[in-house]
Structures are given as C-alpha cells and as structure tokens.
Amino acid sequence: MKKWGTIFSLFVLTAFFVAGVAEGAGTLRLTFKYKNSAGVEQPLSNAYVYLRDRASGAPVEKFFSPPAFILGPTDSNGRVTASVPEGDYYIRVTRRNPMGATARPLGPPENGDYTWNQAKIITISANATTDLGTKYAWLFGSAPITISGTVKNWSGTPLAGRIIKATIVPCIQADGYTGQVSNQCGPEKHIAFRRTDSNGNYTLFLRDPGTFYIYESTCLGDQHQQYSGNPCIGYGVGPVTVNLGENKIVNITGN
C-alpha cells in the first residue's frame, strides 16, 4: 500500500478504510475518551488514528514520522471501527484541542491536543477484529511525567554514573557487541535513558504515562557484557506504573 503525502490524499485514505473492506484486512476498533479534572469521562469525537507499520520502526520520542495509515474520525461517542491491512503497527490517536486552533486537523500532536499512544505493537489479523477498548487521552505537552530515585549499593553508598533505562517489557539486554548504543529490548524500544549523578540520583523524563520496568547497569552491552569484554553489573525494578503529571519515586539497590 502506497504511503500518502498530502492532506487531501490522507482524507481519501481515511474514507476508504472506514467505509471499505480490503482483501486480507482485519478490523481495528477503539473508543477515545478524556477524563477531566473532576474525573468525568468525555467522549472525543473527530479524533484520528495513526498507524505506522512495524517495518518502518517506532516513532522516536522527539520527532514524529509519517504514518502508514490514518483512520477516522471518531464519532460522537468517541468510537472508530476501521478496516486495516493485516500487519503489525505502532499506534497513536490524536484530536486537536481546541478544534478551531489550527487549520490542520491531521498531523503530529501539538501542545494541548488530546492524544494517546503506546510503544507496544498492535497486530491486525486478516478477517479478525482487534478491539483495543477505551483509551484515555492526555493533553500533549501539558504536564511532565517523571520517574526519579537514587541508586545505592547494598551498604547504602550512592552509585554514580550508572545507566538507568526504562522499557515497557521486562528485558535488560541491549543489542550486542557492536559498540553502538542500543534503544532496543527485544522487539520493543527503550523509553528513556539517563545516568545517575555524583550522588546516585536520576530522573527519567517520559512523554507518556504507562507501566514500565526500570533498570540500572554499568554499561549498555548485550547480556551485561561491556564492549571491552568485561562483565557488566545491573539490577531491575518493576513493573512501575506512572500517571499523567506524576513523579514516581523508584529507588534501586545495585552492587
């Protein structure tokens, strides 16, 4: 399927996948809502679902890559049901906020937009329905999400210069002996990296709320092997759930 570059073409693609059923396609279904400050749920209409195929790689945190497909918009109840070619995808859902703030209803989220996405891949199977249920938006760029803490050894001494990384799967390995910094943990991307300071303190800045596994290590090599061949030392904590606007304290005891 050809990727599309203009707003007009994106709208055409959207209409096709909402209304039509392509051969070898499956169905994606979700409901998009937002909880206001009082905790009251509000459905989000006119939101669009962005899919990026797995082969293209996950969108990096700071920059947004073009999607393979754009689906929607959601109806007055925040629901969308669309036909999608079978495959593995990264997903994001975004609605402009307020609606009249920009002439572009499509595109990367801007500060204050309602948005939701995840690093975990979704799979669309032919002639089957993938129902993601209800997904709750947050206001993009509106509040920091952090995990911070201190890394100490078993005797209580702070450990400086330790690499801290967050991932959405319980995986502590990197990519091997290539001498390159890895952002992979199996098929999933690490979410954030940081080194501890001279007092063993760290803060990870996260774009999205969610559940994470936090690891500290002396290096980034595969199975804790330094690129020089010396073994690394590392320990993990998790799962840890952090919400929008929250600073979660996660202290780690290392060696």
173 against 123, higher pLDDT: 123
**What pLDDT sits at residue 28?**
97
Stated pTM of the model: 0.59
Question: Considering the domain boundaries, does residue 1 fall inside one?
Answer: no
**pLDDT band at 10, cuts 50/70/90?**
very low
d(C-alpha 132, C-alpha 28), whole Å? 8
Q: Which residue range(s) make up the domain with 94?
A: 7-139
d(C-alpha 49, C-alpha 27), whole Å? 13
Co-location of 100 and 13 in the same domain: yes
β partners of residue 124 = 87
The Cβ of residue 152 has, within 10 Å, a number of other Cβ atoms equal to 17
d(C-alpha 254, C-alpha 235), whole Å? 6
Q: Which residues are CB-contacts of 163 (< 8 A; sequence separation ≥ 6)?
A: 193, 194, 195, 216, 217, 218, 219, 220
Boundary (domain end) residue, out of 85, 116, 139: 139
Q: Please say if the pLDDT value at position 50 is more than 90.
A: yes
The tokens for 194 are 């940081």
**pLDDT band at 79, cuts 50/70/90?**
very high
**Sign of the alpha-carbon dihedral angle for 130, 133, 137, 143:** negative
Co-location of 134 and 153 in the same domain: no
**What pLDDT sits at residue 2?**
31
H helix runs in the chain, sequence order: 7-19
- Give the model confidence (pLDDT) of 51-60 as tens digits: 988 887 666 5
d(C-alpha 38, C-alpha 245), whole Å? 15
**CA-wise closest residue to 34 among 94, 85, 86:** 94
**What pLDDT sits at residue 8?**
31
Co-location of 109 and 83 in the same domain: yes
Q: Which residues are CB-contacts of 5 (< 8 A; sequence separation ≥ 6)?
A: 66
Q: Please say if the pLDDT value at position 176 is more than 70.
A: no
**pLDDT band at 33, cuts 50/70/90?**
very high
Question: Considering the domain boundaries, does residue 48 fall inside one?
Answer: yes
β partners of residue 167 = 190, 213
Q: Looking up tokens 């890394």, which residue turns up?
A: 151
Co-location of 45 and 157 in the same domain: no
**What pLDDT sits at residue 100?**
67
Number of folded domains that form the chain = 2
Co-location of 50 and 21 in the same domain: yes
**What pLDDT sits at residue 174?**
44
Co-location of 159 and 230 in the same domain: yes
- Give the model confidence (pLDDT) of 124-146 as tens digits: 999 999 999 999 998 886 666 88
**What pLDDT sits at residue 108?**
83
Co-location of 159 and 223 in the same domain: yes
DSSP-derived secondary structure letter, 223: G
By the 8 A CB rule, do 136 and 116 touch? Answer: yes
d(C-alpha 81, C-alpha 148), whole Å? 39
**What pLDDT sits at residue 21?**
44
**What pLDDT sits at residue 93?**
94
246 against 208, higher pLDDT: 246
Tally the residues of the chain. 255
**What pLDDT sits at residue 47?**
96
Question: Considering the domain boundaries, does residue 2 fall inside one?
Answer: no
Co-location of 98 and 166 in the same domain: no
Tell me the CATH number at 197. 2.60.40.1120
